[in-house]
Structure 1
Amino acid sequence: MTLNVKDMIAAAEAEIVTLDASIASDRHGAKGVRFIDLRDRRELEREGRIPGAFHCPRGMLEFWIDPASPYHKPIFAEDVQFVFYCASGWRSALSAKTAQDMGLKKVSHLGGGFSAWRDAGLPIEDVAAK
């Protein structure tokens, strides 16, 4: 193997903006900022989410961003700052890099992910199972 996940994350983080939990918290709820939760549904139901975050399963990100895709979601055409997060910041680092490569201009990710947010004692909302 010539490339591993650790290397991929480091390469992504060299090209994207990483926000720590306190800075992300300052931006949370601001006009023109959208938090994107990349975790799977089981993680949301088990742990909750950052209030108001939009859920985008990591496996659908590219399809939801691409306006030519039949799965495109209008949220990704908005002129807003996207703050991606996952559980620990690995998936969100790769996702922020992918989103940036796909043309989204204002992209960042939450370093340390939802765990960092939770450990900082920041607000969490429950997500009921459907």
Structure 2
Amino acid sequence: MSDASQEQQDPVGIDELLEQVRAGYERVGPEEAATAAAEGALLVDIRYAALREKDGLIPGALVVERNELEWRLDPRGSHRAPEATSHDLRVVVICNEGYASSLAVPSLRALGLRRATDLTGGFQAWRAAGLPVAL
């Protein structure tokens, strides 16, 4: 076997990939996310526009399309959001059901946002918990 083929990893399915990335950090539930936000954490809603229009928004959450997430949250980036003030910022990424957000967290952590996590169950869990939603 050549060195190049030894370096390639065996393919994994999405369920296995999710399990692998989620093992690298602690996720939060809706109540913990709300408490974190009250204590200064940045909630970041990465759902696409149609879902936000249909289901509403979490008051105070920063809306960032998934394809812009790293550029907007990198504290050293030229396109950063004003809220992206520090690598020490606690960030809770929120998608619709908690899948895409899990895949986004390792990318944010690679940028140095070591306190980045995501919301288990996503926006739907937030809403089901009876937490505030602005329509």
Which has more strand, going by share of residues?
1
Letter in 2 for 1:125: A
Letter in 1 for 2:60: G
Note if 1:54 corresponds to 2:66.
no
Gap regions ≥5 residues in structure 1: none
Letter in 1 for 2:115: K
- The answer on whether the counterparts of 1:84 and 1:108 sit within 8 Å (CA) in structure 2 is yes
1 or 2 for the larger relative contact order (CA 8 Å, sep ≥6)?
1
Aligned-residue offset at 1:61: 1.2
TM-score (norm 1): 0.84
1-10 or 39-48, which moves further after superposition? 1-10
Of all paired residues, the percent bearing the same amino acid is 29
- Give the distance between the partners of 2:98 and 2:79, measured in 1 at CA: 25
- The answer on whether the counterparts of 1:17 and 1:107 sit within 8 Å (CA) in structure 2 is no
Runs of 4+ in 1 over 2 A off after TM superposition: 25-30, 62-80
What SS class does the counterpart of residue 18 from structure 1 fall into?
A: coil
What SS class does the counterpart of residue 36 from structure 1 fall into?
A: strand
Let me know the Cα RMSD of the aligned residues: 1.9
Deviations 1:60-79 (A, max 9, x none): 11222345655333322334
Match of 1:37 in 2: 45
The structure that has the greater radius of gyration is 2
Match of 2:115 in 1: 106
TM-score (norm 2): 0.81
Note if 1:15 corresponds to 2:24.
yes
Aligned-residue offset at 1:21: 1.4
- The answer on whether the counterparts of 2:42 and 2:91 sit within 8 Å (CA) in structure 1 is yes
Match of 2:100 in 1: 91
Letter in 2 for 1:108: T
Gap regions ≥5 residues in structure 2: 1-9
